[in-house]
Every structure is written in C-alpha cells, then in structure tokens.
A and B are shown apart, each in its own frame.
Chain A
C-alpha cells in the first residue's frame, strides 16, 4: 500500500486526512469534500466490500501495508520532486532527505510526484510489487498517466477542503468576536450617571468589532467624580484585551487615590509588566468637584481636551508619557475650573486622524470648529459625528472613535438637600410620598409631580416591605436634592436590592393567569421617572430616582 503526502502552496505539508492510492489495482481514493460525506460513506462501503472480495480471491493482499511518511516543508525532497519527470526509483532521490530515509525504511521503491499547474500537490509512493517483480516500463507509463489525472483531482479536493476550513474558521472567529464585543461592552459604562447639574454624553464606535478606546465615569467616595478617557495603540482584539485590563486597573486605582496624577502613576507601574512590548495606552483623568467645577487634570499622552467657553474654544494642557512605556513615569495634576455653561470635549485620535478620500486628515482645526458652535454636549457629539461622516465619505473608519462631553449646567451643584427617615411600617410609603411632594413643590409641572409621587411611593414601599422586611427598627432614609436641572430622590434601605429583574408585567399574561396579578411596582417606577439608578453603599441599598426639570436635547448614548 502507498501513501501520499499533500503539500499546500504555503509549503506546509498536511497529512490528515491521508490520500491513499491502493497499489495493485491502481485505484485512487480521495477523501470527498464534507458535503459529499454520504456519497463518500457509500463509496467507502463499496470499496470495503470490494477489498473483502479481493482478499478472498487473492489472500496475498493481506501483505499490503500503508507507507506513512510526513514530509517537512523544508525537506530537500520537495524541491527535487518539483522538477522531477515522473516515476522515480527510490535510490535516485536525494540521500540527505529525512523523508527519503523514512520512505526507504517503510519499503518504498518507486515514488511518483503529483504535479499540477507546475505545483507539487502530493507524492505517490509504492512498495515492492506483490508479484515480487520489478516495475516494468509499462507499469511506469501507467503510473505516469495515472498521476497526470490524479494530480488535478487531488488539487481540486485540497482546494475545496481548504475553502471549507476557511469558512468554518471564519464562522468561528465571527462568533468569538461577537462574544468579545459583548464582553467589551461590560467595560464601558452601560449608562452615564446623573451628576447634579452636569450632563455627560458619550459616543463610542470601534473601527472593528471590538476596540481599544475606553472611557469611564467613576463616582468617588468624597463626592467628586473621576472621568477617564483613553486609547490603546493598535485596534481589534489585542487592543481590546489591553483596554479591559487598563479600565480595571484605573477603577481599582480610583479606590485608593483621588489624585489624577497618582492614578496614572499607579496604573503605569501595574501595566508595564503585563503589556506587550510594542503597545502602550494614552489616557487622561479628570477629577471634578461638581458644586464648584474645580477640576484636577492629568494626562498620559492623550489628546488634549477642548472646552467650549462663552463662544471661545480653549484647550486644557498637561503632559506625560503614555502608560505602559516607561517605569517610574511621573505625572502632574493641573488645576482648572470648569465654568458654568462650559462644555468639555474628551476625544480619541480616531476623529482627528481620520482621513478623507484625498488623504487629508480631519485634524484639530475641524474638531475645534465643531466644539466652537456647540450649545450642549449631546449636540456637540451629534455635530462631531455628522461632520466627520461628511468629511470621510467613501473612506473606511481607520481607528476607534470615542467622544465624551461634560456640560456644566448654568447653576450646577445641588441647590438644597433635604433628608429624612421613616420607620419601616406598612403604609409608610404614603407618608414618604407626601413629604417628598412638599419638598419639591414648584420644581416640576403638576403632571410630572404626580409621576414622581407615584414613583417615590412605589420605591419607598419596596424599601419598607422588601429591603427592610417590615422591620420597624430599620429606617428608610430619603434624600431629596434639587438642582436647576433635576430632582433626585434617594431611597435607602438595608436590603441587598432586587437580585434579579422580575418579569416584565404583561396584562395579557396576568389575565390569562400566567403571571401573578401583582408585580407592577418597578415597572411603574421606570416608566414614570427619567432615570433609575441603583447604588450600593456599605450595607445600604439606594434607589435613586431622577426627574429632569428641563428637557434635555438629543439622546444619551
């Protein structure tokens, strides 16, 4: 028996599945492509029956063995056979070839290269004839013409199998990318927090399925807010992996220090041992005191933020080495004040370095122009994206694009804060509702006030009945904050919050008896307020209800 070894155009030799040419009758069997699996099975069954019959007729067939030789891509035999003229005696083959040595060991006598379109696609090796005679000239002619037909057929089979493998690989990669995208989204804030009097908007679009840009908004224990944006060199999967660990490091650094320069210094040290040699991360950190706009800013090689201020455009400036490049890098905190009505734009170079058809970059000039005309953060994001799309029409997005805007309202900070507590007694929610209504009186139109009252009552009822389990020794604490733009009501209990989202209530299911009649509370709270946030603070669980007193333009993304 014989065995061929396939050589692919990339020089790799694949041996599985094998192409086997049976010797005595000279019949070639080539593994059929997968979609012909059933046909192949039938064919194999036929071949097996035939072989069995043959074995009965000619018991010498049992002496047949399979020659199994793997030819390394660098083996001199491959180059030799590439120009070989047909069947060759084993002794004429290059003696230095390890494959030839192995062929000899397994008793090969004649080797025939399978060549099609000038390319060596396989090798047919034959052992001694069962008749124990030498191969005649006729045998050689037969082998020569056999391989002439077999080679293109073999090549076709190889190409088809290769294509099938490629399709399978592509499908698997796409599936993995989809999962990677879902995982990456976990590292970006699902929704931006409500900051008293400040409005945050964000836009994130990776150049590929996943990206290396990131942003984060972290509420610090002292009441300030840390805003982070960054960009990992490279894009796609490698960048996304580094992005994931960088955001995690930033979050944990924010728990230890609230100094932007110290956050960057720590993350740099932690990142260096784990980041690949040729990669680094540009990043900037702002820590903002919401009431005063007082801001500390540190920068690790990231694009400098723009501020739209009273019709002018200014830039915050700070320098520093990108993260992950040099151990011992130091950063400075730059202090500035974000004034009422200022809009800050943080952005990645995916916008400034995008080219148009003519090869020109979008640049800082155009970015600055977009900032100049903006009246709100949402509008700024929308205009930037529109402007960039118009500029780069017909050109692929080259890099990940991230935009984060911070708009300080005209009268930011909390005007006044009122807090009170009630014991967890059934029906106490009615009391909470009336007191909150009295506190926010005049801040909301009548219809919106009714919505808030119902939402507060439902939230307080949950806190009393579920969070504190009706334990009269536990209070439900309520904090009401008023700003020019919004009212927030925090309702705190000592429970753990709802572990899992209850079923979305559906009247048809309820009437059909497929859902319990109750279970409308959370649904109403979500529907009646502008935003609901859940916060864990030590052993307390806080539900924060937010009602805008003015309508925001555009969408929060």
Chain B
C-alpha cells in the first residue's frame, strides 16, 4: 500500500520570498506539515511564498483543498502565493479548478519572485 507522505522543506529567497519544496504525495494527510511549513516561511517575513512542486509525484482533491486553505492563510498575511515545477497534468488541474487565478504559475522561482 503506497501511503507515502509529502516531504516538505522551506528555503528563504532574499529579500522577501520563501520557497516551500513540496515532494512526494500531496493529499489531505499532509495538511499539518504544509501549514507548519507555511508558518516557518512566514516567520522569515516573506511576502512571496513559492510552492515548488518539482518533486511532487501525486496530488489529489484533498491536496487541492489544502492549497485553498493555504491561500486563505496567505491572503490574511498579505502574501502572494506562486507555484513552480507543475507537470502539464497538474497545470491543467490548476486551470480546471481556477486555482491558477489565485496561485500564479511560473516556470522558475526567479520568475515567480520577480513578477509583481
């Protein structure tokens, strides 16, 4: 039974951004980990949070719901949330759900941070 959890890590991206690396399976099961990672990123004072999905294997609707929760928290802190490293399939899912209207999709972290 494959029940691999997501692996999350936070890197700062000076001057005002942070990158959360999201690898493995993104499901509702990793909600606490993702929220903790978001706290950690916010504590650096980041105004731009970049979610890097390069290492992601799988995301389900629970994972999408979790991203919505993350977006609401980000809005409260006046943060901009962006995503990089999505495959064509998950880009399509972001478009179908219109998540791409709230989370900017970029090819690189540099582009995600530079865009205003």
**Closest chain A CB from B24 CB (angstroms):** 11
Contact mask for chain A residues 511-542; partner B; CB cutoff 8 A; 1 contact, 0 none: 10100111111011001100000000000000
- The reply to whether A447 and B89 form a contact with Cβ atoms under 8 Å apart is yes
**A434 at interface, CB cutoff 8 A:** yes
Find chain B residues with CB under 8 A from A121 CB.
none
In B46-80, the 8 Å CB interface with A consists of 58, 60-62, 64-66, 68-69, 71-72, 75
Give the distance in Å from the alpha carbon of A157 to the alpha carbon of B78 in the complex.
Answer: 71
**A353 at interface, CB cutoff 8 A:** no
Q: Flag the segment in A92-100, A216-224, A451-459 that touches B.
A: A451-459
**A340 at interface, CB cutoff 8 A:** no
Interface size on A, residues (CB 8 A): 32
Find chain B residues with CB under 8 A from A156 CB.
none
Interface of B is mostly: helix
Give the distance in Å from the alpha carbon of A511 to the alpha carbon of B101 in the complex.
Answer: 11
Given A511-B75, A520-B65, residue A427 in contact with residue B3 (CB < 8 A): yes
Which of A451, A454, A518, A520 has the most chain B CB atoms inside 10 A of its CB? A520
- The reply to whether A505 and B3 form a contact with Cβ atoms under 8 Å apart is no
Q: Chain B interface: which size bin?
A: 20 to 34
**A507 at interface, CB cutoff 8 A:** yes
- The reply to whether A454 and B65 form a contact with Cβ atoms under 8 Å apart is no
Find chain A residues with CB under 8 A from B102 CB.
507, 511
Find chain A residues with CB under 8 A from B89 CB.
447, 450-451, 454
**B93 at interface, CB cutoff 8 A:** yes
Q: For B89, give the chain A residue with the smallest CB separation.
A: A450
Give the distance in Å from the alpha carbon of A38 to the alpha carbon of B2 in the complex.
Answer: 78
Find chain A residues with CB under 8 A from B72 CB.
510-511, 513, 517
Q: For A507, give the chain B residue with the smallest CB separation.
A: B98
- The reply to whether A461 and B60 form a contact with Cβ atoms under 8 Å apart is yes
**Closest chain B CB from A532 CB (angstroms):** 15
Contact mask for chain A residues 412-450; partner B; CB cutoff 8 A; 1 contact, 0 none: 000000000000011111110010000000000001001
Please pick, from B3, B66, B98, the residue contacting A517 in the complex, using a CB distance under 8 A.
B66
In B16-47, the 8 Å CB interface with A consists of 25, 27-29
- The reply to whether A518 and B28 form a contact with Cβ atoms under 8 Å apart is yes
Q: For B71, give the chain A residue with the smallest CB separation.
A: A511
Find chain B residues with CB under 8 A from A506 CB.
98
Find chain B residues with CB under 8 A from A508 CB.
98
Find chain B residues with CB under 8 A from A425 CB.
1
- The reply to whether A520 and B1 form a contact with Cβ atoms under 8 Å apart is no
Give the distance in Å from the alpha carbon of A505 to the alpha carbon of B66 in the complex.
Answer: 14
- The reply to whether B2 and A518 form a contact with Cβ atoms under 8 Å apart is no
- The reply to whether A517 and B69 form a contact with Cβ atoms under 8 Å apart is yes
Find chain A residues with CB under 8 A from B98 CB.
506-508
**Closest chain B CB from A466 CB (angstroms):** 12
Please pick, from A431, A447, A518, the residue contacting B65 in the complex, using a CB distance under 8 A.
A518
- The reply to whether B3 and A520 form a contact with Cβ atoms under 8 Å apart is no
- The reply to whether A521 and B68 form a contact with Cβ atoms under 8 Å apart is no
Give the distance in Å from the alpha carbon of A244 to the alpha carbon of B98 in the complex.
Answer: 42
- The reply to whether B65 and A434 form a contact with Cβ atoms under 8 Å apart is no
Find chain A residues with CB under 8 A from B66 CB.
517
Q: For A451, give the chain B residue with the smallest CB separation.
A: B89
Which residues of B approach A to under 8 Å, CB–CB? 1-3, 25, 27-29, 58, 60-62, 64-66, 68-69, 71-72, 75, 87-89, 92-93, 96-99, 101-102
- A426-B3, A434-B2, A507-B99 are known contacts; what are 14 more A-B pairs with Cβ within 8 Å? A426-B29, A430-B1, A430-B3, A447-B89, A450-B89, A451-B89, A451-B92, A457-B58, A461-B61, A507-B68, A510-B68, A517-B72, A523-B61, A524-B93
13 contacts between A and B (CB under 8 A): A427-B27, A428-B1, A430-B1, A447-B89, A450-B88, A458-B60, A507-B102, A511-B72, A517-B65, A517-B68, A519-B61, A520-B64, A527-B96
